[in-house]
Amino acid sequence: MSDAPAAPSVPSATPGGIATCRQSIARNSKSFALASRLLPGHTADHAAIVYAWCRRADDAVDAVPAAAAPAAVRRLRQELADVYRGAATGVPELDAFAAVVRAHAIPREYPDELLAGMQMDCERARYASFDELLLYCHRVAGVVGLMMCHVLGVDDLAARRQAAHLGIAMQLTNICRDVLEDWQLGRLYLPGELLAACGAPDLGAQLGRPFPVAHTQAVAAAVARTLTLADGFYRSGNRGLAALPWRCAVAVGAASRVYRAIGRRVRRQQCDVTRGRAIVSQRGKLVQVALAAAQVLATAPARAVRRRPPVALASAAPVRFPADLLPFPS
C-alpha cells in the first residue's frame, strides 16, 4: 500500500519558522499534535504551519481586553494582506504561512473567513439560532478543514465539503465541552432558541453573573442536542477519509475519533457542565489512533488516492457556507 507523493518542501519556511509552528501545536492542542505526527514527510510541517497561523489569530484576539479585540482583528487582516501580497513580515510563523499559501494555492477567502469568525467573537457574546452558530463554527473551524484539503492535495468537491463538516463537528464538540469555561469568560455559544426549547429562555441575560445552577438540567439538555447535531456532521466528515492518502486518513481519522471521544465523555457526565471539563487521557487518545489506523487499513484494497498538484487545486472553486454545506448532514 503506497502513500501519495510527498508534499513539496517550502523553501521560504525556515527551520526556525517550522519549529515555532510545531511548538505552537504542541503547546495548544495535544490532540492535533498527536494527529500531525502521523502525517507523512513535509505534510506534517505544512499542517502545523496552518494550525499555528489559526492559533496565532485566536490568541491575538483572546489575549487582549474585549475593547481592544476589534483592533487586534484589524491587525490580523493587515498581516493577512501582507501574506497574500508576498511581503516579508519578519515574523517566522507568518512567513512560513505565506510559503504554504503559495505552495498549496490556499484561497484567501478561507483565512479571511476565519478572521470573520474572530470578528463575530468581538461583536457578540451569545447566539440566537443554530444558523448563526453554524456560521460561526464554519468560520473558525470548517475553513481550517478546507485549508487542510489544499495541504493534503484533495480537490474533490464532496471530500472538501466533508472536511468542512468535520471541522464544524469538532467545534460543536468544543462548545459542548467548554460551556462553563466560556460562561466564565462572558460567552454563551448554545443558541438562545435551543435554550428556550430546553427550559432556560432567560439564560443569556444572566451572562456576567455566576453560572445559574438552577438551569443545569436545561443546559444539559441543550448540550445533548448539540452533540447529536455534531454526530451528523461527524458522519459526513468521516466519509471524506476515503479521499485521503492512507497516512493522512489515519491522522484525520484519529483527530475525529479523539474529538468524538470528548463528546462521549461529556455524555457520560450527563452533559452536566458543572462536573468539570471532559478530557480524554493520553492512553485513550492512543487507542483512538489505533482504531483509526485499523479502520483505514481495512479499506486498503479499495484505496487508490492521488495527491492533486497545487495548480489543479488553484482552479477549484472555494467551498462556501451555507450554499455548499447545508442542509445538515443526516
pLDDT tens, residue by residue, 291-324 = 999 988 887 655 555 556 665 677 778 999 999 9
Element (H, E) at 92: helix 92-104
Neighbouring C-alpha atoms within 13 Å toward the C-beta of 311: 0
Q: Which pLDDT does position 328 carry in this prediction?
A: 63
Task: Give CA separation, 68 vs 65, 117, 188, in Å.
Answer: 5, 16, 20
Distance CA 308, CA 314 (A): 10
Q: Which three cell numbers stand for residue 132?
A: 448563526
Among residues 328, 315, 284, 313, the alpha carbon closest in space to that of 100 is found at 313
How high is the pLDDT of residue 2? 42
Residue type, position 143, single letter = V
What is d(CA 200, CA 192) in angstroms, rounded to the nearest whole number? Answer: 9
pLDDT at position 303: 59
Give yes or no for a cis peptide into 309 (omega within 30° of 0). no
* Rounded Cα distance, 57 and 77, in Å: 10
* Fold classified for 15-314: Farnesyl Diphosphate Synthase (1.10.600)
Peptide bond into 329 cis (omega under 30): no
Q: Which amino acid is at 48?
A: A
pLDDT tens digits for range 43-60 = 999 999 999 999 999 989
**What pairs with residue 188 in β-bridges?**
126
Task: State residue 298's pLDDT score.
Answer: 85
Q: Which residues of the chain have pLDDT under 70?
A: 1-16, 300-312, 328-330
